[in-house]
Amino acid sequence: MSLPSQQTNTRQQWDIFCVVVDNYGDIGVTWRLAKQLAAEYSIEVNLWIDDLNSFSHILARLNPELARQQFDGVNIFHWKAENLTHFSIGNVLIEAFACEIPSQIIESIVKLKQLTPSKVPIWLNLEYLSAEDWVEGCHGLPSFQACGLQKFFYLPGFTSKTGGLICEKNLFVERDAWQADHTNKMRLFQQLGLTGIKPEHQVISVFSYETPALLSLITYWQTCKSNIHVLIPKGKSLNSITSLLPCEIADLIVGQQISLGNVTLHVLPMTDQQGYDRLLWSCDFNIVRGEDSFLRAQWAAKPFIWHIYPQEDDYHLIKLQAFMQIYCDNLAPDLAKNWCELNLAFNQGNQITVANHWQRLDFTNLSFAQHVKKWPITAINDADLASRLVQFVKNS
Ligand SMILES: Cc1cn([C@H]2C[C@H](O)[C@@H](COP(=O)(O)OP(=O)(O)O[C@H]3O[C@@H](C)[C@H](O)[C@@H](O)[C@H]3O)O2)c(=O)[nH]c1=O
């Protein structure tokens, strides 16, 4: 571990620390942010991750055995005690989702403050995304630490008084170009080993947690006249539909198809984040979860169900309501009602109502299609998270 060098250039160094609690969301969010800061702001980003095995599910090129490697202009470090020798104090320290930065680092910054206070990095805690009202009041607040340093709370959110939403500068332009040419999606399906999909078929991606609502929906889709392809990666969603599977989940192979009348289930390979974005852009409807895929489904300008990460005492339902309220602000009341009821029923695992609400929601309806297209522009609110974060650091 070392003190800042006498840098002659003005290139900033930011260090992002992330503990993988479970799933892929913690790493998913920090990886998106790290890539964007490096690509769009020429910041030297060091991403410290405690679990490279989880990370390798969404970045197959990553070698979980290496202490240090570089992808997309980001230095990725395996965060374990012996690798902290690689750490040198930069301009910004981000602890993602209240993970704790190692005490040696804090001690070295305290020493630096005594010697050269002007070199003390900005210390931020990047929090989870929420659409709740209180976020505006807490975003950016400083918190004085016992060690004498100051830490700021950085809260992502949907309004101009929050930390914003992660979205790359050219994302909507790339999405529009992709969606304008129908051969893109057909080629993608082929590359993913998904056969038998015709341009007129309905394609639905599923990346959810366990819920009996999924079984109800697929059972309902079997009664529909159209051909429906359901794309599901190996993971939690499959646990809810074991009764539809021909074998144990462990024995399913990627690319396998399970024919259920008009419905074909496809076992989808996990891709990198760019591949997943393109998949969301290519499907007619997406079922997503957590934080990052939830946001990417919005950026896809396609209708979606959000399976929110379950929390104690059903607190997640309050967060779901807060989002549904802002999402439906400009939507016709009948469409808004159906969409909210569908999302609520899915999240409550309500097997009977979820299929009824699906039936009632006409997601091909023109004003709904216009809404999903307009929403990303409304939500991004003139500034994405990375640009607000860079500004926040400048002003701090
Ligand atoms: C299916 C798939 C996902 N992904 C990525 C997209 C996202 O970055 C990531 C999934 O993250 P999420 O959608 O946020 O869902 P998640 O359930 O994996 O993560 C959750 O983890 C919990 C610990 C948090 O508390 C939640 O808020 C949430 O972040 O995986 C791919 O890159 N390729 C794929 O094929």
pLDDT in tens, 171-201: 999 999 999 999 999 999 999 999 999 999 9
Q: Compute the distance from residue 82 Cα to the ligand 1 centre, in Å.
A: 28
Q: What are the backbone dihedrals phi and psi of residue 80, each rounded to the nearest 5 degrees, phi first?
A: -145, 155
Active-site pick, 15, 277, 291, 384:
291
Catalytic, 26? Answer yes
Token digits of residue 299: 């950026």
Q: Compute the distance from residue 22 Cα to the ligand 1 centre, in Å.
A: 9
pLDDT at site 147: 94
Q: Compute the distance from residue 28 Cα to the ligand 1 centre, in Å.
A: 6
Pocket-testing residue among 18, 266, 291, 305, ligand 1, by greatest number of atoms within 8 A of Cβ: 291
13 CB near ligand 1 (under 6 Å) = no
User: What is the mean predicted confidence (pLDDT) over 8-25?
Assistant: 90
With a threshold of 0.90, tell me whether the complex ipTM lies above it.
Answer: yes
* 3-class SS of residue 255: coil
User: What is the mean predicted confidence (pLDDT) over 34-61?
Assistant: 97
* Closest Cα to atom 26 of ligand 1: 290
* Closest Cα to atom 27 of ligand 1: 290
* Closest Cα to atom 21 of ligand 1: 25
**E strand segments, the chain:** 13-18, 44-49, 68-71, 74-78, 92-96, 122-126, 142-144, 150-154, 202-206, 228-233, 257-260, 263-268, 285-289, 304-307
Considering only CA atoms, which of 222, 205, 216 is closest in space to residue 259?
A: 222
pLDDT at site 2: 61
pLDDT band at residue 4 using 50, 70 and 90 as cut-offs: low
- In this prediction the pTM is 0.96
pLDDT at site 168: 98
Position 3 pLDDT exceeds 90: no
The string of pLDDT tens digits covering residues 350-393 is 999 999 999 999 888 999 999 999 999 999 987 899 999 999 99
Considering only CA atoms, which of 44, 25, 24 is closest in space to residue 34?
A: 44
**Average pLDDT score, the chain:** 95
Q: Compute the distance from residue 396 Cα to the ligand 1 centre, in Å.
A: 31
Position 146 pLDDT exceeds 70: yes
Specify the ligand 1 atom closest to the Cα of 59. Answer: 32
Token digits of residue 297: 């489904």
The string of pLDDT tens digits covering residues 216-231 is 999 999 999 999 999 9
Strand pairing partners for 3? none
The string of pLDDT tens digits covering residues 252-289 is 999 999 999 999 999 999 999 999 999 999 999 999 99
Pocket-testing residue among 20, 27, 32, 58, ligand 1, by greatest number of atoms within 8 A of Cβ: 58
Catalytic, 329? Answer no
pLDDT at site 1: 65
| Torsion, CA 244, CA 209, CA 236, CA 292, rounded to 10 | 130
d(CA 65, CA 225): 50
For the packed helices 25-41 and 273-282, what is the interaxial angle rounded to 10 degrees?
100
19 CB near ligand 1 (under 6 Å) = no
d(CA 233, CA 218): 15
**E strand segments, 220-262:** 228-233, 257-260
